[in-house]
Amino acid sequence: MRGPEDAVELRLFPLHTVLFPGMTLPLNVFEPRYLQLVDECTRDDEPFGVVLIREGPEVGGFAVPHDVGTTARIEVAEPGLLNRISLVSRGEQRFRITELHHDRPYLWADAELIEEPSGEASGELRERAGEQLRAFAQLRSYSPR
C-alpha cells in the first residue's frame, strides 16, 4: 500500500526519449520555460520528471505525455551561448502521473513514485539455478566412448 510519502510534485520535461533509472541524459536547454524549470530544480535541489511524449511537439506548445516517466537529477549544468544551458542529468526513479497541470510555463504533475523490484533472487530461485548450473556442467564434461 502506498502512503503520502510516495506522492510527489514534479516539474515535467516531455521528450521523444525514454529515460531509465541509472541512465544519463545530456540536454541542451534553450526554451525559456525549460530554462526556468532547470533554474528552479537547481535552486531547490529537486529532480524533474522526464516523460515520453505521446503526442504533440517537443519544442513549443504543450505535449501530451505518457503516464509513466523517470525522475532525473541534474548532475552538471553549464551556461552556454545565447541563453542556453548544457546539462547532464541522471535517471533516478520511475513515477506515475496522477494529475497533470498546465498553469505554469512548463507542465508539472502530481505523481506517485513506483517501487522497483529489488532485483535480488529468492533463496529458492538461487538454489534451483545452482542445481541447473551443476547439471549443465556435468553434461558438458560427459564424453561417450
Pick the CATH number of 4-116 from 1.10.275.10, 1.20.120.140, 2.30.130.40, 3.10.560.10: 2.30.130.40
Whole-angstrom Cα distance, residue 51 to residue 109? 11
Nearest to 14 by CA among 51, 47, 60, 59: 51
Burial class (CB in 10 A: 0-12, 13-18, 19+), 67: middle
The pLDDT of residue 59 is: 74
pTM of the model: 0.75
The full set of domain ranges for the chain reads: 4-116
Let me know: does 49 contact 19? Beta carbons within 8 Å. Answer: no
* Tens-digit pLDDT profile for residues 16-63: 999 999 999 999 999 999 999 999 999 999 999 999 999 987 777 778
- pLDDT reported for residue 121: 63
pLDDT of 52: 96
Please state, rounded to an integer, the average pLDDT across all residues of the chain.
89
